[in-house]
């Protein structure tokens, strides 16, 4: 259920509350007027470690970490305490708050939210396979090797942009407001920049400079980039409607794309402003000179067989991999992402009722990254497992690669047959509703197998899109606000009264401190209004 469907809700009063109101309504001989109740203060952050020290002490923040709290900061905090990165079967039935209070988790609501999230992820997965049909798992043994894999995914994504004009699931990282932040961009499109032609001079016209004495030649100017990158993010909706522009769902989608651009632009810089990998590695606690393992080196050398960046063929450490990035940026020839960003909304697919019994209803538990587990799909982020490299074509040297036109040789083991049939239908729909890829580029892509006969599926059709401008002022203010929450410098904030319908789907509704505080404010106001 979207956050736009309900405009108002009233707090639920307990029997004790009703009894108190009844007592106050009884006539008295000489009623003593109480002092007007002051508004309840915003709850102080209880003493103890911050969310950052509890849950992100050994890993960077993600883009979703900076946008998910917009839905409800209390729910987000509770979900971290409840192990949102774990499969549902491994999550606790109760969570203990820093104040010592316990909240009993509504497991049915938790399961429903998890299923909604997985359906949204399935659309992202199929869109990803349209350009990256092969997933190759590489065994990484150290933080340096995991970072190396992230860089390799950036090279393969860049290769896809050069060959096909776009890529999906592109990793980005950087240092924002003194914090490490990572993200995965859903889609990047690379388009040519058409400069206006200069007016031609008549053949007999002389330049005015020919009438003066020779002067020092002007320094050569750097030619303008020939291409620009467009960032696009796909969001799924439960209802076949676009979100209201001012809603939290729409705002979080805009801020998510702004964060992606904020991280991507420094990585595209060239010359003196080029990204300083050495400083980044030091601040992240990574040893750029630590040699990779032999097995890891063999794997990445096979994944980046490309004459455009030969330095990768001899890379044995992070420093070597990073040294090849400037050459890759030169080939891309795009110095930034476009200031106009776009969100595409799709209807979340549903199986037809008559076919649900014939399809497995539960998938085996899968461990997913923490970034992809908020209660509703509007605030999820694309996800690449840390040990996976995405390729737009299979490696011939790998046995079983794309045999019979299938990508099963490199698919995650957790996928069931029912999930694959759903993916195949979404893929067929996606190919019918291209997101703007030129036909000549699409024709060069590897051929994908035709989906086999299967149960009907309501299409994840495009509902519409929203384009908006990037705002550095807005995104910097948002980052500051979110970091205050993560670092324990302010208390969390719950939903407004107009958005209380969100609580009806929250696993932590019973026992929520924000709801209890609002109920107390309501009682205090009712008491004051009665006497005044």
Q: Does position 41 have pLDDT exceeding 60, yes or no? A: no
Q: Does position 190 have pLDDT exceeding 90, yes or no? A: yes
Are 50 and 98 a contacting pair, CB within 8 Å? no
Q: Does position 370 have pLDDT exceeding 90, yes or no? A: no
Among the ranges given (123-132, 307-316, 355-364, 485-494), the one the predictor scored with the smallest mean pLDDT: 355-364
pLDDT of amino acid 402: 29
Are 85 and 368 a contacting pair, CB within 8 Å? yes
The CA distance from 513 to 520, in Å, is 11
Query: Residue 338's closest CA among 229, 249, 198, 242?
Result: 229
Q: Of residues 266 and 360, which shows the higher confidence score?
A: 266
Which helix (H) or strand (E) element contains residue 169?
strand 166-176
The CA distance from 438 to 519, in Å, is 56
Q: Does position 275 have pLDDT exceeding 50, yes or no? A: yes
Are 347 and 242 a contacting pair, CB within 8 Å? no
One DSSP character per residue, 148-166 reads HHHHHHHHHHHHHHHHHSE
Q: Does position 487 have pLDDT exceeding 60, yes or no? A: yes
Strands (E), 38-100: 61-62, 94-96
pLDDT of amino acid 444: 37
The CA distance from 467 to 401, in Å, is 39
Domain ranges of the chain: 120-192+224-472
pLDDT of amino acid 302: 80
pLDDT band of residue 423 (cuts 50, 70, 90) is very low
- Rounded to 10°, the helix 472-486/248-268 angle is 100
Q: Is the pTM of this model over 0.85?
A: no
- CB-CB neighbours of 18 under 10 Å: 10
pLDDT of amino acid 18: 40
Render the burial of 86-101: b for 16+ CB within 10 Å, e for the rest.
eebeebeeebebeeee
Name the token pair of 245: 């522009």
pLDDT band of residue 450 (cuts 50, 70, 90) is very low
The CA distance from 255 to 474, in Å, is 8
Alpha-helical runs (H) found in 304-370:
318-323, 325-332
Are 449 and 421 a contacting pair, CB within 8 Å? no
Which helix (H) or strand (E) element contains residue 103?
strand 102-104
The CA distance from 214 to 199, in Å, is 25
| Mean pLDDT across 292-315 | 83
Name the token pair of 385: 């497992």
pLDDT band of residue 483 (cuts 50, 70, 90) is very high
Give the best-scoring range by mean pLDDT among 82-91, 185-194, 406-415: 185-194
pLDDT of amino acid 220: 54
Percent of the chain's residues with pLDDT above 90: 35
All residues at 6 or more sequence positions from 196 whose CB lies less than 8 Å from its CB, including other chains: none
Q: SS3 for 189?
A: strand
Q: Does position 50 have pLDDT exceeding 70, yes or no? A: yes
The CA distance from 305 to 288, in Å, is 22
The CA distance from 228 to 265, in Å, is 11
The DSSP output letter for 173 is E
Q: Per residue in 383-407, pLDDT tens?
A: 555 656 655 544 434 333 323 332 3
* Pairing mode of beta strands 179-192, 61-62: parallel
Query: Residue 169's closest CA among 490, 468, 388?
Result: 388
Query: Residue 286's closest CA among 242, 263, 317?
Result: 317
pLDDT of amino acid 492: 93
Name the token pair of 224: 């303008």
| Mean pLDDT across 308-323 | 89
| Mean pLDDT across 168-172 | 95
């Amino acid at each position: 259920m979207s956050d736009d469907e309900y405009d108002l809700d009233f707090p639920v009063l307990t029997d004790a509350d009703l009894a108190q109101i009844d007592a106050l309504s009884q006539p008295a001989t000489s009623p003593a007027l109480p002092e007007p109740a002051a508004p309840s203060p915003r709850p102080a952050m209880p003493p103890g470690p911050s969310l950052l020290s509890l849950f992100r002490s050994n890993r960077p923040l993600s883009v979703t970490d900076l946008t998910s709290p917009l839905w409800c900061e209390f729910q987000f905090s509770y979900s971290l305490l409840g192990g949102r990165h774990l499969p549902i079967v491994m999550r606790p039935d109760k969570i203990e708050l820093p104040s010592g209070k316990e909240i009993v988790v509504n497991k049915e609501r938790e399961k429903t939210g998890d299923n909604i999230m997985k359906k949204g992820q399935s659309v992202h997965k199929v869109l990803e396979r349209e350009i990256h049909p092969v997933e190759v798992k590489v065994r990484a043994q150290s933080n340096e090797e995991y970072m190396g894999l992230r860089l390799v995914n950036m090279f393969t994504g860049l290769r896809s942009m050069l060959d096909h004009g776009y890529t999906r699931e592109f990793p980005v990282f950087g240092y924002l407001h003194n914090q490490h932040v990572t993200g995965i961009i859903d889609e990047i499109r690379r388009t040519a920049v058409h400069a206006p032609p200069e007016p031609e001079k008549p053949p007999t016209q002389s330049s005015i400079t020919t009438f003066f004495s020779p002067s020092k030649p002007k320094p050569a100017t750097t030619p303008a980039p020939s291409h620009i990158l467009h960032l696009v993010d796909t969001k799924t909706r439960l209802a076949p409607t676009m979100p209201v522009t001012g809603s939290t769902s729409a705002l979080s989608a805009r801020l998510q794309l702004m964060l992606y651009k904020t991280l991507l632009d420094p990585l595209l810089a060239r010359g003196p402003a080029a990204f300083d990998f050495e400083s980044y590695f030091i601040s992240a606690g990574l040893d750029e000179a630590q040699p990779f393992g032999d097995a890891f080196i063999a794997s990445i050398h096979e994944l980046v067989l490309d004459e455009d960046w030969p330095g990768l063929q001899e890379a044995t450490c992070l420093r070597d991999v990073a040294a090849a990035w400037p050459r890759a940026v030169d080939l891309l020839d795009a110095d930034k992402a476009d200031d106009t960003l776009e969100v595409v909304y799709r209807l979340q697919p549903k199986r037809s009722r008559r076919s649900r019994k014939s399809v497995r209803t539960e998938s085996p538990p899968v461990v997913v990254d923490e970034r992809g587990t908020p209660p509703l799909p509007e605030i999820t982020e694309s996800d690449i497992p840390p040990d996976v490299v995405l390729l737009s074509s299979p490696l011939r040297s790998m046995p079983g690669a794309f045999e019979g036109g299938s990508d099963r040789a490199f698919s995650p083991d957790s996928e069931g047959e029912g999930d694959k049939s759903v993916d195949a239908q979404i893929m067929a729909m996606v190919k019918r509703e291209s997101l703007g890829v030129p036909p000549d580029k699409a024709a060069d892509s590897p051929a994908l197998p035709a989906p086999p006969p299967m149960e009907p599926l309501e299409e994840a059709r495009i509902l519409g899109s929203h384009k908006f401008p990037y705002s550095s002022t807005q995104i910097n203010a948002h980052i500051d606000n979110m970091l205050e929450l993560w670092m324990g410098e302010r208390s969390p904030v719950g939903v407004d009264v107009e958005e209380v319908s969100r609580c009806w789907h929250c696993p932590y509704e019973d026992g929520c401190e924000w709801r209890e505080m609002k109920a107390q404010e309501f009682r205090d106001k009712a008491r004051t209004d009665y006497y005044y």
